[in-house]
Structure 1
Amino acid sequence: MNSHTVEHHCDNKKIYDMLKYLSENDKLDIQQIQNVYAMTKKQELLNRHIYSIWQGKNDSKFYTYLPDDKKKRILVKRNTEEEIQNVVINYWKEQELNPTLQEVFDEWNDRRLELKKISASTHVRYIALFQKHFGDIKDKKIRNTDTEFLLNFMEAQIPKFSMTAKAFSNLKTLVKGMFKKAKRSKFIDFDIEQVFLELDIQEREFRKVVKEDSQEVFSEEETDKIMSYLFQNLDIYNLGIILLFVTGMRIGELVVLQPNDFINDNHIVKVRKTETRYKEKDSHTCIYAIKEFPKTEAGVRDIIIPDDYLWVVKRLKMANPFGEFIFMNRGKRITTNSFRRRLKDICRKLDMPHKTPHKIRKTYGSILIDNNVDTRLITDLMGHTDIVCTERHYHRNRKSIDRKAEILSNIPDFQIKTAR
């Protein structure tokens, strides 16, 4: 045990003995508690000091180093040990009142995870987002930021990373949370909301992502082709993909289904949970966990299975009659990644562009709208708050070029009228 550790142990024992004596002799009052707290706090700050304190051999003064941003460390000296300790204590008090951007972010992000305001996957996603945008300035002190700094920083991120409007919105969420936390902790005195109001950003500055209909949904021909393949190659994975096509479920919702989620003779499937996927901090290991609620509040819903596909559920239950989950292989729950790989392989085998399971969901939404299904039913089935979301982000034209040409060619106004 080194001398610093011995001193720390002795100081803690002094504090303990003092509290014990005061308590046993009924002499404990507010002032004494405050004094003991002050002693504890001073010792805590001294323990944070990474450099030793020593006495000079020639001048008997006391020395130590203090961290410095430019010189890494600077030498300080005082006449007495108490004076040098006060220098150290005051330095670390100032550091507590002026943490780095990294420290503010970590405290905000970790606290939200602890309170279950965000999922583990969102927590890790924010870490990556912070590192991407703040990596070069993460050690900057929070008190060295101001409204001008933040305005310049935020506006510069758009061209620097060729950001889309959605990506910039995600960054704003992170920055807003960090700096609201900083203001509550009295590290800063400006309002981040006001800073955002002063941002000079035009819509044209964001990178536009143009996605063709053929990239976003399975066309009518592709759907027929892929469903035919699935019917001819029925196994647990392909049955799951069929279920995606006829229910519009998110892939994360599919893989956590349990037998009792199917009710009314399998006509209805209750969606109440989803899979969440994330990588642990400083690790490449992917964690697949179950989140006890869907992606959104509207995601809690009951989906109706078409009559012609009730056999799919029955077959799935027969294949795994005693399993905890519907989709299991060798006693383990099948993850979203397994279904993504299977769908990718099928697209490759059928010589069609690769599309993700989410494109199946968009296909389902498009089919509902194309068939004039009641808008309330559409939003209920999709788990959306309103039809605008479905129409704007999910509805795509699935007809082939030949079918589009046929429809237009059969319109009387587009036909040449021959003279009688």
Structure 2
Amino acid sequence: MPRRGENIYKRKDNRWEGRYIKGHLPSGKAQFGYVYAKTYQEVKRKLIEQQALYCQQPELVQKQHVSFSVYCDQWILLNRDRVKESTWIKYRNIVNNHIKPHIGQYTVQKLDAVVLESFSHTLLVSGARNKEGGLSAKTVKDILVVVHSILKYVQRNTGKQCPSFQMIYPKQYKKQMRVLSKEEQERLIAYLLQEMDACKFGVLLTLLTGMRIGEVCALRWQDISIDEKTIHVCNTMQRLQKIETRWTSQKTRVLITEPKTESSNRMIPLTDYAVALCKQCYCENQSAFVLTGTEQFMEPRTLQYRLHKYTADCGLSEVHFHVLRHTFATRCVEVGFEVKSLSEILGHSSVQVTLDRYVHSSLDLKRKNMNKLAAIGF
């Protein structure tokens, strides 16, 4: 059976066939063209290419109401080699799970501010189609950004005049991030030092450097220089959705790549305490992963499970891996860390990101700063 609305079929000879409109007869009846390939993904790519050629012929487009869904497919296809694979998969899921089911049937001219406001409200209230629970304001904004990019693509490449309006994004409320108190941090460190293995060492190293979970999972001993007292963060690990799952039961795969941005590829100086821990756990095999001590990696979700066990044993709750990163940033601020240096150590693109998202002053630090007013008689 074809997927709904795709006009893609599997033939009896095991090839895939796609059908597209290539023109119209004087009577207005559509004329169809066909593409063939050995795989579903290949025939879909050919089909989108043919649809793109059709949509770039104004005299044909005027006779056919091309849906926004067609332009979504074109935009996804054209961006496949322009962005990182993880970003492209995110775009594709946004288009297939949210944009096309809700507004894919509209023509571009019908996508005005009212339609998109209704679309945004639906996502906030009920989320994806046929699923309960609304999406977060941040997720809805990401979806609307993709819609805006597709509309700009349509106007730039087809000459279609898109409705002129300002995209309105839902208001985002800043969520207070969990940060370990000094007592909680000391309790966790004491636990990790007891019978410390490679995984506990990796968690402790994160608390001392602020690395992301994917960066820790991809860290090898060749990235740590004990002599220079540095860690070179040059890779990250993530589990990505597989593009083609028709012939396999595995829907995801683990991928190790360079960090997403240039600022994330960075050198982190180590304290003497961190260097001493590195010497204690040092592995002669430079290709070995830090978290395992072998050339077999530990993926992020496994590390997250381990951290949950560690924190539960310590009596700590609501501690996921990013809490360690926020805690590191907060401790740095408390000791008077220069913000520009902290931003580079965390791998942020700007100081503002560090200040807005990762710096959390403790009540003790706020009280200490308030007490400075006593010096001027307040």
Task: Name which of 259, 265, 270 aligns with 2:221.
Answer: 259
Are the counterparts in 2 of residues 270 and 301 from structure 1 also a CA contact under 8 Å? yes
Q: 2:317 matched to which residue of 1?
A: 353
Q: 1:181 aligns with which of 150, 153, 162?
A: 153
1:254-293 equivalent positions in 2, closer than 5 A: 254-263=216-225, 265=227, 267-281=229-243, 285-292=251-258
Q: CA deviation at 1:267?
A: 0.5
1:149 shift after superposition: 2.5
Q: Retained in 1: the 8 A contact 2:329–2:358?
A: yes
Which of 266, 269, 272 is equivalent to 1:304?
A: 269
Letter aligned with residue 116 of structure 2: M
- Residues 150 and 349 of structure 1, relative CA distance in 2, 3 Å threshold: farther
Are residues 404 and 395 of structure 1, via their aligned partners in 2, closer, same or farther at CA, if it must alter by over 3 Å?
Answer: closer
Q: Does 1:48 align with 2:13?
A: no
Where in structure 2 are the equivalents of 1:12-23 lying within 5 Å?
none
Partner of 2:80: 113
Shift of 1:49: 9.5
1:377–1:404 distance in 2 versus 1, CA, 3 Å? closer
CA contact 1:266–1:313 (8 Å) conserved in 2? no
- For the structure 1 residues 153 and 130, does the alpha-carbon distance in structure 2 shift closer, same or farther, using more than 3 Å as the test? farther
Paired residue for 1:416?
none
The structural deviation recorded for 1:333 is 1.4
Q: 1:358-413, CA deviations, whole angstroms, 9 ceiling, x for partnerless residues?
A: 111111111111111122321221222333322221112345xxx68996998997
- TM-score, normalised to structure 2, is 0.70
Q: How does 1:50-199 map to 2 (within 5 A)?
A: 99-115=66-82, 117=83, 119-137=84-102, 139-140=104-105, 144-146=107-109, 149-162=111-124, 164-186=136-158, 188-190=160-162, 194-195=164-165, 197=166, 199=167
Residues 366, 96 of structure 1: alpha-carbon distance in 2 compared, 3 angstrom cutoff: farther
Amino acid at match of 2:150: M
In structure 2, what is the Cα distance between the partners aligned to 1:247 and 1:179? Answer: 42
Deviation at 1:177, TM superposition (A): 2.2
Q: What is the deviation of 1:133?
A: 3.0
Residues 187, 252 of structure 1: alpha-carbon distance in 2 compared, 3 angstrom cutoff: same
- Note the C-alpha offset of 1:151: 1.2
Question: Is the 1:348–1:354 Cα contact (8 Å) retained in structure 2?
Answer: no
Higher radius of gyration, 1 or 2: 1
Return the letter of the residue paired with 2:358. Y
Deviations 1:74-102 (A, max 9, x none): xxxxxxxxxxxxxxxx9xx6599754333
Structure 2 gap segments, 5+ residues each: 1-30, 37-56, 125-134
Equivalent residue number for residue 17 of structure 1: none
Instruction: Answer whether contact 1:218 1:398 (CA < 8 A) is retained.
Output: no
| Contact 1:216-1:396 at 8 Å conserved across structures | no
SS, match of residue 173 in structure 2:
coil
- Matching residue of 2:305: 341
Does residue 313 in structure 1 map to residue 278 in structure 2? yes
Q: 1:412 to 1:391 in 2, by over 3 A?
A: closer
Normalised by the length of structure 1, the TM-score is 0.64
Structure 1 residue matching 2:208: 3-state secondary structure: helix
**1:133-169: CA deviation from partner (whole Å, max 9, x where unpaired):** 324346526xx222x6231232123332326553343
- Secondary structure of the residue aligned to 1:133 is helix
Distance change in 2, residues 1:184/1:125 (3 Å)? same
How many Å apart are 1:243 and its aligned residue? 0.6
Shift of residue 330, structure 1, vs aligned partner = 6.2
Matched residue pairs, number? 309
Q: Which segment is superposed worse, 325-334 or 93-102?
A: 93-102
CA contact (8 A) 2:222 2:287 kept: no
Give the equivalent residue in structure 2 for 1:229.
191
- Partner amino acid for 2:95? F
CA–CA distance in structure 2, aligned partners of residues 406 and 46 of structure 1: 74
| Residue 12 of structure 1: aligned partner | none
RMSD (CA atoms): 3.5
Aligned partner of 2:131 in structure 1 is none
The answer to whether residue 201 in structure 2 is matched with residue 239 in structure 1 is yes
Q: Kindly tell me: are residues 95 and 139 of structure 1, through their superposed partners in 2, closer, same or farther at Cα, counting changes over 3 Å?
A: farther
Judged with a 3 Å threshold, the aligned counterparts in structure 2 of structure 1 residues 377 and 99 are, in CA distance, closer, same or farther, namely same
In terms of fraction of residues, the more helix-rich structure is 1
* Distance in 1, Cα, partners of 2:95 & 2:151: 13
Q: What SS does structure 2 have at the residue aligned with 1:333?
A: coil
Q: 1:216 to 1:157 in 2, by over 3 A?
A: farther
Q: Name the aligned partner's letter for residue 274 of structure 1.
A: T
Contact 2:238 2:299 in 1 (8 A): no
**SS at 2:337 equivalent:** coil
Q: CA deviation at 1:282?
A: 7.3
- The answer (yes or no) to whether the contact 1:245–1:360 under 8 Å persists in 2 is yes
Q: Secondary structure at the match of 2:232?
A: strand
- Pair 1:100–1:315, CA change in 2 (3 A): farther
Q: Specify the SS of the correspondent of 1:269.
A: strand
Q: Contact between 1:97 and 1:187, CA under 8 Å: does it hold in 2?
A: no
